[in-house]
Amino acid sequence: MKTISKLPLLLAAFAFTFTSCESSDDKNEGASGETGKSKYIITVSTGATGVADYLLTADDVSKGSITTAGNGLEQDGTYRYYLSTQNKFFSFLYGQGNPGAVTTYGLTANGDLTKTSNFQAETVQVFAPVNKDIVMVKVPRSGASISYMYKVDAEQSVLTGTVSQDTRLLIGNKNPDLAERAHFTWATQVGDKVFMPYMKINGIAPDTFGTRHADSTWVAVYSYPDLKLEKVIKDNRTSYLGAYFTNGLFQDEKGDAYGFSGAIGTANGVVTSTKPSAVIKISKGTTEFDKSYFFNVQEKSGGYKISSTSYISNGKFLLLMYGNAGTNSGAVKLAVADVYNQTFKWVTGMPATLSNATTRYNITTEDGNSAILGVNTPDGNWIYSINGSTAVATQGMKVEGGQITAIQTLKY
């Protein structure tokens, strides 16, 4: 994905996404996972002008190597983002202001990756699985203030509904001429509702993503499937959850939701957040932040901030950390945080220098205790497994021909 210079957008350069999809026109026998076999889907960006991302497949990523040279499926268009749900692989084309596309892939009975659907859609900045659907959100950053939420049937790969939200109303603008608005960072299913964290942004160039509200947290709560706004949850112990194109809210197996804040709000390109990078909690069945819970990750890490997050299992999360407090850049490191015990461990066994990693979404191994992700370095790109209990990394398959942008599995 392209690199963005401003800090709230810079974090997106360290994170990547995954998707899965299939068309009702193709009875893809692999979609049901009848054989119980799995295939890894590895997306690779060559970085070359006019060359789209590649989709590679492998039966085992714990060893060996794979290359884009003469291998894989070349996608139509670059700046692709991904999501897996309902045993389908969805690829979203970011149109950079123009309409995009949603391409669906599935596996045949022999485990071959095949395109099964491709439909035109608005370019969206949020896409998340909800029940058997995908909720996609087009989020305005300037000009018009209306955000459009689209429901897509993930099994049929068809649009089933659209709901609009005036993003100025979420921040209580009494003056409709003000450009300031809410900007959704992501969407997460929590119980039978959809929670959408957001940041408040100025909405005016050249400081479009700048904010006067760097030290507060907001989550809009929507009913489902009608996507009706029910309330807004607020807190002021840390900054907004997630970041541009970056999920910051996850539900665990117990039904509790944990929010991750990088505390990276800026004004005119300078970090203005004064609160720590931290984890906060919404207990199961509630629509309020748990005031008794606060996990100061910045303190536990010795001054680092959260860039992106993905869930492993049993309260353990994989974190991509960057820099030091008050800086816009710095060493990128991986860590495992246990939100139940509020413990923090740096990952060991990794290369000394990381360019980026696919931490925004990862695969959890079948035993539920390890995360499999792509790691890109100046010396090469590999797939690693990270143990959630020990935080020890094990190097696996080498990927040649470009940077790893996503890794996921499908059944066939």
pLDDT at 35: 63
Domain boundary assignment for the chain: 7-411
Q: If you average pLDDT over residues 145-149, what whole number do you get?
A: 95
The CATH superfamily label for domain 7-411 reads: YVTN repeat-like/Quinoprotein amine dehydrogenase (2.130.10.10)
Q: Are 101 and 221 in contact (CB under 8 A)?
A: no
pLDDT in tens, 356-388: 899 876 788 878 899 999 999 999 999 999 999
Q: Is the pLDDT of residue 88 over 90?
A: yes
Q: Give CA–CA dist 364/19, Å, rounded.
A: 15
- With CA atoms as reference, report the closest residue to 312 among 346, 350, 358, 361: 361
The backbone torsions φ and ψ at residue 15, rounded to the nearest 5 degrees and listed phi first, read -135, 150
Amino acid 368: pLDDT:
85
pLDDT, residue 51, reads: 62
Whether 104 and 118 have beta carbons less than 8 Å apart is answered as yes
Q: Which of 130, 132, 123, 149 is nearest to 22 (CA)?
A: 132
Which pLDDT value is given to residue 12? Answer: 36
In the chain, the amino acid numbered 206 is P
pLDDT computed for residue 144 by the predictor = 86
pTM over 0.75, yes/no: yes
Contact 271, 326 (CB under 8 A): yes
Predicted confidence band of residue 29 (pLDDT cuts 50, 70, 90): very low
Kindly tell me if the per-residue pLDDT of 221 is higher than 90.
yes
pLDDT for res 329: 53
Residue 76 in this model has a pLDDT that exceeds 80: no
Specify the pLDDT at position 174: 66
- Can you tell me the distance from the alpha carbon of 81 to that of 90, in angstroms, rounded to the nearest whole number? 8
The per-residue pLDDT for 327 is 47
pLDDT of residue 8: 36
> 23-27, 130-134, 182-186 — which is least confidently predicted?
23-27
Interval 329-361: pLDDT, tens: 567 899 999 999 999 999 999 999 999 899 876
List 338's β-bridge partners, or say none. 316, 343
Q: Indicate the pairing of strand 370-377 with strand 126-130.
A: unpaired
The reported pLDDT for the residue numbered 304 is 93
Q: How far is it, in rounded angstroms, from Cα 110 to Cα 126?
A: 33
How far apart are the C-alpha atoms of 317 and 347, rounded to whole Å?
Answer: 12
Lowest mean pLDDT among 15-19, 141-145, 230-234, 291-295: 15-19
Look at residue 34 and tell me whether its pLDDT is greater than 80: no
Cα 272 to Cα 72: distance, rounded to the nearest angstrom: 44
pLDDT of amino acid 94: 81
